[in-house]
A and B are shown apart, each in its own frame.
Chain A
Amino acid sequence: MDDNNGSGDDVLGVYHLPRPLPLWLNPAYAKHIVKGNFMTLSARPKTVDQGEWIAHQVVEHYRNLWNFVRVIHEKEEDGTTTCNANSCPRMSAGANHSFTWLNNKREPVELPAFEYITLMQRWISGKIDDENIFPTDANGVSFSHNPSITTTPLSQLSNPGDRDWVGKRSGFPENFVEVCQTIFRQMFRVYAHLYWAHFTEPFYHLNLEKQLNSCFSHFVLTACALDMLKPQELEPMQPLIDLWAANGTFPPGSKAYDYANHRAGDRLMQLGNVA
């Protein structure tokens, strides 16, 4: 009943995880450089426009992610990188997930993770640096509507009947949320690749796993809280999310906590104690 050989009775069995389980699912290596309630960093300040807050979070998380990517992606003097076409011929997150790009004929193509990440970076920074998508003019800033205090609802500031969207009054474009969701989804895939393909090589060896855990858990918490990631999109990293719900990283009340399979998380915690 409680064996570890992947029988259907194991609550973890549904994940089809390799056995023994990856190092990053060991509670001893799922720890952080920070303690406390991460929600305090993700929650939108009440007066701040939702679009403004999402924009802020996109940029912050992108900067964080890139700190880790740089480690595997930047060339050594001899031109080699930790993540390369041999080590990672596909942009994968374990045996069960790999991600493809659409080429210019809109066909999905498999790329080495290195290429994928290069394209991802170019694409995201193209968005973030675009003033039309992420405006930076201080004069364009707005605030969040509060029915008990602010009397002019946003839509009435322009012509009634005009369409409204998140961040409209602050100058964010109509597809802003969609763009940000795509950015978050892309960043999630990169994180998933970092865990599945590079957690030990190099992050664990370089003593960076706690930093990675803190940045990624904050990322998941924020992305879920802002509906930037849908629960089914978390799949490649679901067991770690379960574990973090169980070990207190995700506080009850957060969406990330709600999205977790608590039995799986408890099981991982228990395995961690046995180990």
Chain B
Amino acid sequence: MDPNNRLYLNFGNNNDRLAASDRTYPTTPSTFPQPVFPNQQSGSAQQQQPSGQPYQGGYPNANYFMQNQGQSQNQYPAQYAPPQGQDYGQGQQYQGRSSTPGTNDPNVGLAHQFSHQNLGGAARAASYGARGPSPAQRPRTAGSSAHQQQQASYNSYLNAPMPSQTPRQPDFQPAPERNPEKYGTNANNNQKKCSQLAADFFKDSVKRARERNLRQSEMEQKLSDPNQNAARREQIWQNGGKKEGRYLRFLRTKDKPENYATIKIIGKGAFGEVKLVQKRADNQVYAMKSLIKTEMFKKDQLAHVRAERDILAESDSPWVVKLFTTFQDANFLYMLMEFLPGGDLMTMLIKYEIFSEDITRFYIAEIVLAIEAVHKLGFIHRDIKPDNILLDRGGHVKLTDFGLSTGFHKLHDNNYYQQLLQGKSNRPRDRSSVAIDQINLTVSNRAQINDWRRSRRLMAYSTVGTPDYIAPEIFTGHGYSFDCDWWSLGTIMFECLVGWPPFCAEDSHDTYRKIVNWRQSLYFPDDITLGVEAEHLIRSLICNTENRLGKQGAQDIKAHSFFRGVEFDSLRRIRAPFEPRLTSAIDTTYFPTDEIDQTDNATVLKAQAIANGKAVEETPEMSLPFIGYTFKRFDNNFR
């Protein structure tokens, strides 16, 4: 038994304990720092014990057991035994009770229940009747002192000498050697689901209870404010209760895509699409990403879906796009996220080609903070690129796409990259229609650059995506760390100022080669003048990992002279250089919806399924790879 595989509960009212640990290790169960069963007496159990205490009235008189031999319940503390002891009557009682709910039952006639008990027979009952002290004499209170007393006397009773030489049969059935093989594949699959779901259940429940306790104590703090009048206090209480209640309803409800009306498809990728949707129940607007399960499965993206779900679910950062809930059906995984109407940085770069140094400074500074936030959550993004940098209503940056949208996530598979580096060009089939002449190792040809720019979006949507921003250590397989995201930052900054990413080539194969040979291929075009500090910062980021700025943390980057005068702490509060101008909550001006095929993937898949005559999976959330994917955030689900 690995102690690290254990969850620890007991967080209750001791907020000091959980404050520090709560965030840092979001997915590992071993990090709840509580000792095993710490002072059970003082836990939150008492604090939150529901009020009803129905059994306290029933101390029976001492003759009870003598009069009612044959009771099957005779081993219970007597106050819990039913008042009458006939076996037959007992059965009737059960029957009567259970028939009631059956009356409005859809399966009338079947679903009634009744308990039949084969009692031990007269001999056993008699031996019990003759037995020594009745359990009813046991101190009833749960207080530890009483219990210990009892235990002490009991122990001495047990310590009586045993007939030591009598051969005895074992007390317990011997445990056989475990043999999971003797069960079928389905049972073994279900074993995995079961194990995972049970762990997830406790992990999620602990997290929710913790957060609930925090909300509770915040509310109590508000209530204890002496300036609060009675009406306001009542309001606080009621709102608190309703909000918790709505969340509980949300938890026990299965969400489904039909609950949302599609307004527009705002993005399409190899693994799915992103739609602007409106929840039918309350007209709230969201971005709904739907990922095609079979594609995810084929392309080996499952771990990455999970990683993305985890990071988004854990994060509460203004720099990370907010995930409200995830759900699934037979064909898709759905992620319901906040809609960021400003579009993405890729679209901005396509539109403006280059940014001034001031505007670049703003975006790069914000991206530094965003990457820092992700790193603080314990994640390496590994795929920072303009497509994944979204702009919110105010034009500020948020990161998205933690592990999806493109195929560059076989990050641990060194062979995959080695093949790409050594082998032949691997032009993906879905890009053959946008064949462009190969761009040479040193890009200088403006016309070709423009071609590249035109194919930019197509590339972003392809399975293979663009490797332009990925750090070389990820390809070469010698290991990578947090600083690989700072390399990506350097390449984005280059693109903002120069107009194309430093290693761009028409073919991914060439891009890889250029990135790995960055010492030769990093080239600042002569016709574009960069500030000395800007170029220095880029060169400090696009370099070998030993010398890379940010290796010791984001503060070194923030301290670079390029950012002189930038106030990082208040950056998100200043006005962005570009603020989206929106006419409504569902304005998609900043998304290239004209260029996106507005046919829903669901429609396509349904048509395919009908054509293939495929049966639909019965319980989609139970298909093994997607176990535990479902997530529900407390906030903002039910505004």
Contact = CB atoms under 8 A, between A and B. Distances in A.
Interface of A: 1-5, 8-9, 13-16, 19-23, 25-26, 28-29, 31-41, 43-50, 52-53, 55-56, 59-60, 63-64, 67-68, 70-72, 74-78, 80, 82, 95-106, 108, 119-120, 122-123, 126-128, 134-138, 141-144, 146, 149-151, 170, 175, 178-179, 182, 185-186, 189, 200, 202, 204-208, 211, 214-215, 225-227, 230-232, 235, 238, 248, 251-254, 257-259, 261-264, 266-267, 270-272, 274-275
Contacts of A1: 160
Nearest to B112: A102
Nearest to A251: B40
Nearest to B54: A227
A274 B158 CA distance: 12
A96 B118 contact: yes
9 contacts: A56-B252, A63-B201, A123-B105, A127-B101, A143-B244, A149-B234, A231-B77, A235-B72, A262-B150
Among B50, B193, B199: residue with most chain A CB under 10 A: B50
B438 interface: no
B172 A2 contact: no
A80 B622 CA distance: 20
Given A55-B248, A182-B113, A231-B76, A33 B199 contact: yes
B184 A185 contact: no
8 nearest CB pairs, A to B: A143-B241, A104-B109, A36-B9, A102-B112, A43-B48, A47-B241, A39-B45, A36-B10
Contacts of B237: 47, 143, 146, 149-150
Interface of B: 1, 5-12, 32, 34, 36-38, 40-41, 43-50, 52, 54-55, 72-77, 80-82, 91, 95, 97-102, 105-120, 124, 127-128, 130-132, 135, 138, 140, 142-144, 147, 150-151, 154-155, 158, 160, 162-163, 166, 168-176, 178-180, 182-188, 190-191, 193-195, 197-199, 201-202, 205-206, 209, 212, 216, 219, 223, 230, 233-234, 237-238, 240-242, 244-246, 248-253, 281-282, 622, 638
A259 B80 contact: yes
A215 B198 contact: yes
B101 A175 contact: yes
B638 to A, nearest CB: 5
Nearest to B115: A99
B125 to A, nearest CB: 10
Given A101-B113, A208-B195, A231-B55, A3 B168 contact: yes
A248 B184 contact: no
Contact of B244 (A45, A55, A95): A45
Given A40-B10, A261-B135, A68 B194 contact: yes
Given A102-B98, A235-B73, A238-B76, A21 B172 contact: yes
Given A4-B168, A40-B43, A225-B49, A101 B249 contact: no
B241 A122 contact: no
Contacts of B12: 37, 40
B186 A77 contact: yes
Contact of A45 (B48, B108, B128): B48
B241 A56 contact: no
Contact of B241 (A138, A144, A262, A267): A144
Nearest to A179: B101
Nearest to B133: A263
A275 B113 contact: no
Nearest to B143: A252
A122 B198 contact: no
Contacts of B209: 40-41
B35 to A, nearest CB: 9
A136 B249 contact: yes
Contacts of A59: 251-252
